[in-house]
Structure 1
Amino acid sequence: MVVDFLPPETLLAQLIELRKAVMRDAASYFEHWRPLIRRTSFRTAAWNLAYYRALQRRDIQKLERALMPWGLSSLNSGISSVLPHLDGTIASLGAVCRINPTLLPQHPSPRAFFRGERLLKRHTHELFGDRHHSHHWIISYPDSPLEPQWFDQLQRQGASALRLDMRDHIDQAQAAIAQLTQLSSPASSRSPKPWKLWLTLDPEDLEGDRLSAKAHLNGHTTPAPQLIQVLDAADIIELKQPTEPKLLDSLHYAIQRQLGPDQPCPSIIVSLDPDIDIEQLPELIVRGAGRYPFGIAIPPSLSPNGHLSDRSRACQKILDLCQAACIPVILMPPTELNPSSSLDGDLSQLAAIVRSPLQASPSSATS
């Protein structure tokens, strides 16, 4: 693509107009999301997601290339800090044009450019706890009961969560929950569990009683027994492949009804459908992260593989949106490996890896 060399004054005028349009559209997005945002820690991230979405609605490729001769082609590189990058570019170009700085957006502080990274770290810690290392390991819970020594070994490995799929072998899942509850009870001689219990739910578990705001307020619904058990036991609830963002409202009302005001709320993870409509993802993120510690799980069929396939491009868009919202991403493996015989230091047997969207390499194994 050949781009004409534009004078800095022309570029500055285009950037100022771009900023006005981004601010206007972002305010519209945020106003729509505002009723869904209860967590103050997510408010700043939601604004950044709104700025990012407004910026991506515009074709800025020519403008970015025109800025390259001036050393200012960073509009698309600041996904987790959209407005600071835009304001910094305007302020720097204003200095080239010798414009009075008071007539332009103030140049952001250096700290503002890394606010998204700090928010991502905070949101990851809220989801999995502060493990004081750069990655979080999640392992699948074996089908059969385990010896208490296995949990000691698990603790030494530094696992962040135990994932138990509630869809298959319900009796075994219930036995596993009972065993974990017993090991973590005050009567146990063991220390409180250092990892979180991650339980799965299908959309059908919520569809069964179609919880709604009206039904919740009137108390006219009866949740399924499996849903009650998950709400009572889970530290992390995974909602598998929801068909629409509003299903998170159903889960929210179920949590509100089941848990008392003094009980800690669970974290929420949404594992995406491989055929997800990415246009729905921002609202899905806001409905989840606006209320709970939240993460997105990417299935193997969407995981990046280095090829320029439609699925790889879709995965990159998902990673970018999650980075803009400053929420952690979990890359799920092709198969969940049984860790019961391999907790001997071989971390390759762990079931899932939390990956930071801020990392450059999609194949990296750390967050």
Structure 2
Amino acid sequence: MSLAEVEARERRAQARGLFRALEVLRADMARRAGETLEGWDELIRRPEFMPSARNLADYLALRRGDLVPFQAPLASLGLSSLGRAESHVRPSLDAVLASLALIGGEGVAEYPPVEIFAAGPARLAARRDALFGARRGHPNTRIMVTLPSEAATSAELVAGLIAEGADCMRINCAHDGPDAWSAMIGHVRRAAAEAGRRVPVQMDLPGPKLRVEEVAPGKAAKKEKTDPGETGRLFEGDRFEVVDVLSAKAELPQITLSHPALIAALEVDGALWINDGKIRAKILEAHPGRVLAEITSTPSKGAKIKVEKGVNLPGVDLRVPALTEEDLGHLDFVLGHADIIGFSFVQTGADLRALFAELEARAEPVGERSGPSLMLKIETPLALRNLPALIVEAGGRMPVGVMIARGDLAVEIGFERLSEIQEEILWLCEAAEVPVVWATQVLENMVKDGQASRAEMTDAAMSQRAECVMLNKGAQLGAAVTFLRDVLVRMDRHNNKKSPRLGALGLWHDF
């Protein structure tokens, strides 16, 4: 027997072994996915979402195990390693099995219909356009812009943003008020009509305020000049107190927090982070109404604790209802004007059901209307763990998207984990055929000062794999929209989600 015949026999044996292993994997996937779908059955009231839920169930079942051992052997046979199966999980596995059967000489190769591989991406693209607006040509990724207060009085500012390439506008209901919001939306609608485009508006409900509410500098800081609403400058090793009520006689700086659940959740050795983690502290003592904390990390020049700065408790599942009285006060306006409801701090199915009940109480039957879509803002570890269920329950009732709120999420799960977690969210949402917004601090230096850092340029390029990218407000917002659009167009030449397009390398075309 020749060497070529020996190698061919080995290839056939390898293919047969892989075929049997993947057959077992597929059967297990089908069983688990079926059980998951059965549990989701009552949540899905929109038949058009069922194919997405089915593919998501397949993906969750497939990714329970480790696929690494299959990747190199499949690639050595010239087959898919299942690394890009998110939008068509079961057909991808079936196609690999058919090819293995053909190579190994076992059974008949029955490939799935070619069109089934395009169905999921087509649904995702249609949902992207419905949420964030359609556009001709590139970039495929849409740009969402957070409107500043000035947008209420400057129609030119809004029209300029749309002309620069903004696809969707965001209004944060934690700022301004109904009169300003009405003016902003009026400017958006008129400018969009003049541009011959649909520019949707997302209005974010503020959710529970987890912030520093009051500050007292303490006697020890009396000699240092401080403005109202801030402590003196604190460094590593300094101590402060978290209290229910400030005391004018306190030796140490004191702060109060905006939500009673925050101080109740503070425990000895727990972490308390302020202002997106710029100030980090460890809890030394916890008593009713008073908690003693010690600074463990600040910038090198120290930092002051100021009112209205955000508070995070890393490692703590804070069971706070997402929908607040303030949100309910905004909801009538939002329903009458917004294309997308941004649902802040959503963590559980109970949060979703509370919102659905409020929508239906306002004569807005969920799933039977052409009203706003829903944007799930993922900000906490609990929301992250519940994400598949949140997607299914929300998407089963109304059009839905997912926003990766990378600022709060990074603080909550740890900055070192954000990179991998945002990847996993992108994969999960692609499997669920749900559009994703890549949000928080995108091109932040450029938006504020007109010059992007190298790291921000890389981040902007990576954002192309999401369906939408969000820019926050700043003095150079228009220039940032132009720059981001150019980056996204360039990246569209090279990548589609996880798949390289492998176009010609123009730089070395004549090499």
Task: Calculate the TM-score normalised by the size of structure 1.
Answer: 0.77
Within the candidate set 430, 435, 459, 1:323 is matched to 430
Equivalent-residue separation in structure 2 for 1:341 and 1:331 (angstroms) = 20
Report the counterpart of residue 122 of structure 2 in structure 1: 118
Equivalent-residue separation in structure 2 for 1:195 and 1:340 (angstroms) = 22
Q: Give secondary structure in 1 for the equivalent of 2:149.
A: coil
Report the counterpart of residue 264 of structure 2 in structure 1: none
**Aligned-residue offset at 1:234:** 1.6
Q: 1:132 to 1:36 in 2, by over 3 A?
A: farther
Q: 1:123 to 1:179 in 2, by over 3 A?
A: same
Equivalent-residue separation in structure 2 for 1:342 and 1:312 (angstroms) = 25
**Aligned-residue offset at 1:121:** 0.3
**Aligned-residue offset at 1:47:** 0.9
Report the counterpart of residue 62 of structure 1 in structure 2: 69
- Name the structure with the higher strand share: 2
1:139/1:159 contact within 8 Å kept: yes
Q: 1:347 aligned to 2:478?
A: no
**Aligned-residue offset at 1:85:** 0.9
Q: 1:16 aligned to 2:23?
A: yes
Instruction: Spell out, residue by residue over 1:234-256, the C-alpha distance to the aligned partner (whole angstroms, 9 max, x if none).
Output: 21111112232331222222222
**Aligned-residue offset at 1:361:** 8.8
1:117/1:326 contact within 8 Å kept: yes
Report the counterpart of residue 90 of structure 2 in structure 1: 83
2:200/2:339 contact within 8 Å kept: yes
The code of the aligned residue for 1:359 comes to K
**Aligned-residue offset at 1:179:** 1.6
Q: Give secondary structure in 2 for the equivalent of 1:224.
A: helix
2:14/2:104 contact within 8 Å kept: no
Report the counterpart of residue 147 of structure 2 in structure 1: 141
Q: 1:359 aligned to 2:492?
A: no
Equivalent-residue separation in structure 1 for 2:364 and 2:405 (angstroms) = 33
Q: 1:248 aligned to 2:352?
A: yes
The code of the aligned residue for 2:402 comes to I
For structure 1, the 5+ residue unaligned runs are 210-221, 363-367
Identity %: 26
2:145/2:169 contact within 8 Å kept: yes
Q: Identify which of structures 1 and 2 has the higher relative contact order when contacts are C-alpha pairs closer than 8 Å and 6+ apart.
A: 1
Equivalent-residue separation in structure 1 for 2:194 and 2:69 (angstroms) = 62
Equivalent-residue separation in structure 2 for 1:119 and 1:286 (angstroms) = 16
**Aligned-residue offset at 1:88:** 0.3
The code of the aligned residue for 2:388 comes to P
Equivalent-residue separation in structure 2 for 1:75 and 1:311 (angstroms) = 24
How does 1:28-177 map onto structure 2 within 5 Å?
28-101=35-108, 106-133=110-137, 134-144=140-150, 145-168=152-175, 172-177=176-181
Equivalent-residue separation in structure 2 for 1:316 and 1:185 (angstroms) = 34
**Aligned-residue offset at 1:285:** 1.1
For structure 2, the 5+ residue unaligned runs are 1-9, 209-320, 445-470, 501-511
1:141/1:338 contact within 8 Å kept: yes
Equivalent-residue separation in structure 2 for 1:110 and 1:87 (angstroms) = 12
The code of the aligned residue for 2:372 comes to P
Equivalent-residue separation in structure 2 for 1:191 and 1:76 (angstroms) = 40
Instruction: Spell out, residue by residue over 1:132-188, the C-alpha distance to the aligned partner (whole angstroms, 9 max, x if none).
Output: 2423221122213323344443443343222111113xxx231222224655899xx
Report the counterpart of residue 286 of structure 1 in structure 2: 392
Instruction: Spell out, residue by residue over 1:6-30, the C-alpha distance to the aligned partner (whole angstroms, 9 max, x if none).
Output: 6332322222121111111111111
How does 1:228-243 map onto structure 2 within 5 Å?
228-243=332-347
Equivalent-residue separation in structure 2 for 1:61 and 1:338 (angstroms) = 42
2:146/2:169 contact within 8 Å kept: yes
Report the counterpart of residue 297 of structure 1 in structure 2: 403
The code of the aligned residue for 1:264 comes to S
Report the counterpart of residue 263 of structure 2 in structure 1: none
**Aligned-residue offset at 1:283:** 0.6
Task: Calculate the TM-score normalised by the size of structure 2.
Answer: 0.57
The code of the aligned residue for 1:284 comes to L
The code of the aligned residue for 2:482 comes to L
Give the greater-gyration-radius structure (CA).
2
